[in-house]
Amino acid sequence: MSLFGLKFGKKKLKEEERQLQANNRDFNLQFEYANNSIKTSKYNFFTFLPLNLFEQFQRIANAYFLFLLILQLIPQISSLAWFTTVVPLVLVLAVSGVKDAIDDFNRHKSDKHVNNRPVQVLINGMLKEQKWMNVQVGDIIKLENNNFVTADLLLLSSSEPHSLTYIETAELDGETNLKVKQALTVTAELGEDLQKLTEFNGEIRCEAPNNKLDKFTGTLTLRGEKYALDNEKMLLRGCTIRNTEWCFGLVIYAGPDTKLMQNSGKTTFKRTSIDRLMNVLVLVIFAFLALMCLILAIGNGIWEHDKGYYFQVYLPWAEGVNSAPYSGFLMFWSYVIILNTVVPISLYVSVEIIRLGNSFYIDWDRKMYYPLNDTPAQARTTTLNEELGQIKYIFSDKTGTLTQNIMCFNKCSINGKSYGDVYDMSGQRIEINENTEKVDFSYNPLADPKFAFYDHSLVEAVKLNDVPTHRFFRLLSLCHTVMPEEKKEGNLVYQAQSPDEGALVTAARNFGFVFRARTPETITVVEMGETKIYKLLAILDFNNVRKRMSVIVRSPEGDLTLYCKGADTILYELLHPSCNSLKEETTEHLNEFAGEGLRTLVVAYKSLEEDYFQDWIGRHHEASTALEGREDKLSELYEEIEKDLMLLGATAIEDKLQDGVPQTIETLAKANIKIWVLTGDKQETAMNIGYSCNLLNDDMEDVFVIEGSTSDDVLNELRNARKKMKPDSFLDSDEINIQFQKSSKNQIILPDEQANGVYGLVITGHSLAYALEGNMELELVRTACMCKVVICCRVTPLQKAQVVELVKKYKKAVTLAIGDGANDVSMIKTAHIGVGISGQEGMQAVLSSDFSFAQFRYLQRLLLVHGRWSYIRMCKFLKYFFYKNFAFTLVHFWYGFFSGFSAQTVYDEWFITLYNLVYTSLPVLGMSLFDQDVDDHWSMVFPQLYVPGQQNLYFNKVVFVKCMLQGIYSSLILFFIPYGAMYNTVRSDGKAIADYQSFALMAQTCLLIVVSVQIGLDTSYWTVVNQFFIWGSLSVYFAITFTMYSDGMYLIFTASFPFIGTARNTLSQPNVWLAIFLSITLCVLPVVGFRFLKAQLKPTPSDKVLLKIKEAKKRPPPPSPKRRLRRTSTRRSGYAFSHQHGFGALIMSGRNMRPKSPFATTGTFSPNSDKYKHKGL
């Protein structure tokens, strides 16, 4: 039975192993597996009110106001009308409740949309359309091309040869390239025969639901035979079927048990550091309130004992009060009610409104709108804005976040000549931009129209039949594992395992060597308009050790040639000695390419003799069929034939960064923000991107690579790195080492340590697994946090979250995680702030994020502009709010000493009710929504302005104490100046005005004008709205005061408006206005003086920057020429292919070929490439 969203009854046992039968719902129901319905909402119609109120009263302040309301309903101690608390409390609960209801309604809507998607389910031998939520474990469902995968399925059969199925995993890992899955042979035979599928009664035993995207183990038992199941046979929820007409799958995990939902992690309630600080401050204020009430209660007891007892004829004690101590006890609670405005409930209403307003600014910011896919920035959470102004660490995914996952053939070196740069008439290299003339490929009808190249000399070399150039592009068109698809003649689409391969083949295609078709034995290439069919004799496959791949082909003329491409460091060892001079020239070009952050490959060839090749291919066949040591034998044969290669040149591919990434990273680094890249990619690729986007550079003292394969190795590498960065950190006198000895490890907050230079750290996933172990995590966090940049490669989604958690645990810093795939979800949820990149890569990260936008470059605007403004506004708001309420409330405290501690209020009750709700609410909201110390332009030009937020300088405990002291000082002035001015005073006509009502009016008028002047001093940026709110609030005060104190109101509501005529009698006297002026001067002068002297004598770094900005505005500097961020480096990319080892054998076997197309084969491929397969771990 579900009550208030909580399940009661017998507890479900933890699942150890999953057992199910195909097409047998009765059998599967006994295990009570979850169905395919998902639920992300918190409430339903009946549980909303009780659950929401229960959550809201967990806030200390709300519970406190409820307690106050109960006190006000007790007549003996009630010194204020009940409505002074009920109205604001109901308002706060209503505003928060409506906001929660809207959020939950949207979650319900999203759940309903997903749960009601249609899918074809096999029921009683027929395909019936069902809603996703009604699908159950053990059902067989049919999916068609471009369908979303409904649940985690075991692939049974498909329309493709050998039951291959192509999927896009954008929702899971942000990758847009295709991957391949293959069904078991025994189930592939089922095809689309509904009779056979209905009779299929295989029994599955597999692992319990878990969040490992790359791993699945299980067995299928069919007709007494057992078959092993692995991840290659699974289609996961969140994927999309591509290039496959249909496929059938058996539901293994449904709904919340699917790997996608298991990876979505637990949604934690995120609170800002200011929220946490406010909870502490509220407790401090409660203690201060209790102290004041205790002093006044003791004062009352003494006064009643010494004077009140003998004065009862004139002032009788309240009913039931029979002693001075009891009177003091009741007065304690009366003063709790009166002085409760030190923590006014309107504080929380205002905070919610300010956060909501600043969230709208993010939604409305046109400079964060991405027109290409119509994506605006979105603040998905409205409670974290000010924390955006305090970020110290950014954890970023790489693929799809920093990069576009698009590769472009950028430059190449052929026979010692470099191509790709553009020169002007004087021989000076010019920068390529959108106005640069592109090469015209119109002479080639099969060219890819999207391909762009700017160096015309390369096309001329091709047209002039330059032999090395032709051989270079022939190699690129033959030596690869790309699959072509040609549904209409001439309309070629390449499906590559990795985008790099696709870029190289597309380049060859445009320069006249068009890879047109492939079969297991042949490759068809259109060379300069002439179709040639090469016999494919062998593919020497890529692996992580070889870091190269080769093909052996026979040309139509009968020539035998081996074509090879690979990492420069490997291929240079295999070259013929005659290539030495060419090798030097090519090395220079490689250095240039790598200096620009391009991914480089070296290409070479070798002509083979017929006799030697026949002998070699025989031995190759033997090795490939050997039962033992097959891999080693093949490697030896590959080494043997790949010798004495002739160097052709090198290629340089640009892994296109998202626009503005290097500039954004450079700007964020100036704001003292440390960036960590957490990626599933391999080390070379990750470091390459690190250099190309300005994270790593050659000016760094060192880049440490942590790749130890044992716990001791990793520990030594980390310690050696720390010893180099800060040798003193190993001394016993080191501050942190002393701290270690004093406290337990769990409670340590590590201070920032300064290294003796600028360093980077690269750590691989397997080393990180050791480093995250309990006894080494401190070493990791100390070493890593000294580095300016940290890159973690080959990491799993769980490790991403663990790294973020580690920094949160040991550093007093605010963290932000940014990513675009389901593998980033746990990291996004773990960080203080989660940002999702929305776009073509799937929406899973966005759905779990607090903020989202389409491009990484918008992050600098989110933090440096919106985040900084939100933080400053919130801090100013809190400082002013606490000040004005201390000044307002403590006047009651001083008045107690002059009123026999009788809990009489200084002000009119209506003024107390309206002070926070009407008179002072709008001016402070105006400042908190519109204020900016500098505009958005200067915020970006001077990122140093962001630093005070990281150090929490604008609002902390010290600042709070200063506000408190200022409030106490102002309250003294606001009580004693009107008291002195009124004492024994007469009007100009000789009548007395030294009465309580005149004093109350004067005190409240002084107070309101003083706090209005104070907000004027706090406002940096004046708008019409600010002016209107401040002057309007004062006008409303006087209008309401004169109305409420008028004769008419007194006659209508005699009991409610006793201050008849006070306003016109008191405010018409010059001495009253002089006293008001004196109060304002005495309250404001110390503040102005202190701020002036502080700025002159002890300016903060922000003050210095603001001064620079003022000077810059007076004398605008000439516009700086736009520069392109480049780096120079002697480091070459160690880039190796990212396609999956073993794919060469798959091509040669023809199992992925589909002989349907009249033009070519149309298989597509992208299995879980080596590069990407760790992306979704």
Three-class SS state of 221:
strand
Q: Which residue has the tokens 């099969």?
A: 446
Which one-letter DSSP state was computed for residue 375?
B
Q: In whole angstroms, how far apart are CA 471 and each of 107, 607, 649?
A: 59, 12, 10
484: amino acid identity, one letter? P
User: How distant is the alpha carbon of residue 536 from its chain centre?
Assistant: 47
| DSSP-derived 3-state class of residue 1027 | helix
Closest CA relative to residue 270, chosen from 383, 188, 182? 383
3 DSSP β-pair partners: 6
The rounded distance, in Å, linking the Cα atoms of 189 and 845 is: 38
3-state secondary structure of 183: coil
- Which position has the token pair 């295999």? 574
Write out the catalytic residue numbers: 397
Residue 260 to residue 254: CA distance in whole angstroms: 10
- Contact between 741 and 803 (Cβ < 8 Å): no
Q: How many CA atoms, within 13 angstroms, populate the side-chain half-sphere of residue 757? A: 14
Q: How far is CA 147 from CA 48, 143, 176, 213, 640, in A?
A: 35, 6, 15, 20, 47
Angle at 703 between CA 650 and CA 793, to 5 degrees: 75
Tokens of 1054: 């005699």
Contacts of 69 (CB under 8 A, 6+ apart): 82, 85, 86, 89
Please, what is the Cα angle at 985 between 982 and 990, to 5 degrees?
A: 145
- Calpha distance 792→682 (Å, rounded): 9
Residue type (1 letter), 1174: H
Sign of CA dihedral 568, 574, 579, 581: positive
Cα distance between residue 1070 and residue 987, in whole Å: 9
Helix (H) or strand (E) holding 669: helix 661-670
> CA separation (Å) from 923 to 175, 890, 960, 1082?
49, 22, 21, 22
SS3 call for 399:
strand
Q: At 148, phi and psi to the nearest 5?
A: -75, 145
What is the number of H-type helices and E-type strands within the chain? 41, 37
Let me know: does 775 contact 715? Beta carbons within 8 Å: no
Q: Residue 856: name the closest of 873, 841, 871 by CA.
A: 841
Around Cβ 184, how many Cβ atoms within 10 Å? 19
* Cα–Cα distance measured from residue 49 to residue 1021, given in angstroms and rounded to the nearest whole number: 41
Report residue 853 as tokens: 């936008």
Distance CA 241, CA 179 (A): 10
Q: Is residue 792 within a helix (H) or strand (E), and if so which, with residue range?
A: strand 789-793
Those residues whose C-beta lies under 8 Å from the C-beta of residue 878, and which sit 6 or more positions away, are 274, 278, 955
| Structure tokens given for 984 | 């024994």
Helix, strand, coil percent content, the chain, rounded in steps of 5: 50, 20, 35
Which two structure tokens, joined as six digits, stand for 596?
A: 């620009």
- Beta carbons of 462 and 513 less than 8 angstroms apart: no
Backbone angles phi, psi at 576, to 5 degrees: -70, 140
Amino acid, single-letter form, for residue 369: Y
